[in-house]
Amino acid sequence: MLDLVFLGTGSGIPTPKRNLAAIWCRYEGECWLWDCGEGTQRQLFKAKLNFMKIDKIFITHWHADHWAGIIGLMQTMNLEKRTAPLTIYAPEAERFLGNILDLDYWGPRFKIKPVDVPYQGDAITVLHKTKTYQILSTPVQHGIPSVAYAFKEADTINVDIKKAEKKFGLKQGPAVGKLKSQGKLTYKGKTITLDDVGTVRRGIKVVYTGDTMVCDTVKTLATAADVLIHDATFGEEDIKETKHAHPEEVAKLAHAAGVNHLVLTHFSRRYTDVSDLVATAKKAFPKTLAATDYLHLAISDRGLTTTHLR
């Protein structure tokens, strides 16, 4: 199961109800952030989330409402005598982090590793991979180097050994491993597929766009996603040339991409009530909800559940 907690759902300027962009993520004991806007560490404290367990931060772009919380968070980690390394992924990460680390005399006691994320073209890049999941990225359209991120859980493949042995004489061993990895196998002159003797549980996929206009790269990355978290800064009447997205077009993209759930976030402070924005999106994509600060999403193959930590 993947746990997400929205620490900030506003844009540009914080409000009493909405902090700036940050999402805390946890999967199998690993914790990371998607963006780290101003005030993120205070939101972590309020939500009673352990900031010292965060070992990766993924920044979508270098507008301050998405990264300015990094400085304070890293300094607090240092004061708490952190020794574990911290990896920060972002477009032009090495250049920007070098400048950030030169702003003070604090001298981190732990290793801070920048990883540059490709921000040109339309390719999907695997940034981090384990046996059970991977983090992907793709460039988006926001006027400056910007990317979206995706969490993709590995598929779980189960082979019914009793059925395989009875039907094909196939026993547990290297051949079964080959069947799992390749999807089919020629064994004793017969072709065996996973459909014949096994089941595949598709791993969950969650996409976070950061700031972007509606674009084809997001549609591709979000194809068949369980949850798409998308910029919905303005209504259509206010969007102008801001290089953000409005809810109706985001909902249409979610429908076209075959998304299961759509979560709108990054709302302008001009909207004290976003219910009209959500209603507009629901006309094109009914399974839409608005993110709020401290919203907790628990995402698994059984679906999506929501709670609030405060």
| Distance separating alpha carbons of residues 284 and 276, to the nearest angstrom | 13
CA-based nearest residue to 5, from 218, 229, 209, 226: 229
Annotated active-site residue 195? The verdict is no
Phi, psi of 45 (to 5 degrees): -65, -45
Q: Helix 247-257 and helix 275-284: axis angle, to 10°?
A: 30
Q: Which of 35, 65, 211, 293 is catalytic?
A: 65
Q: Which residues are part of the catalytic machinery?
A: 65
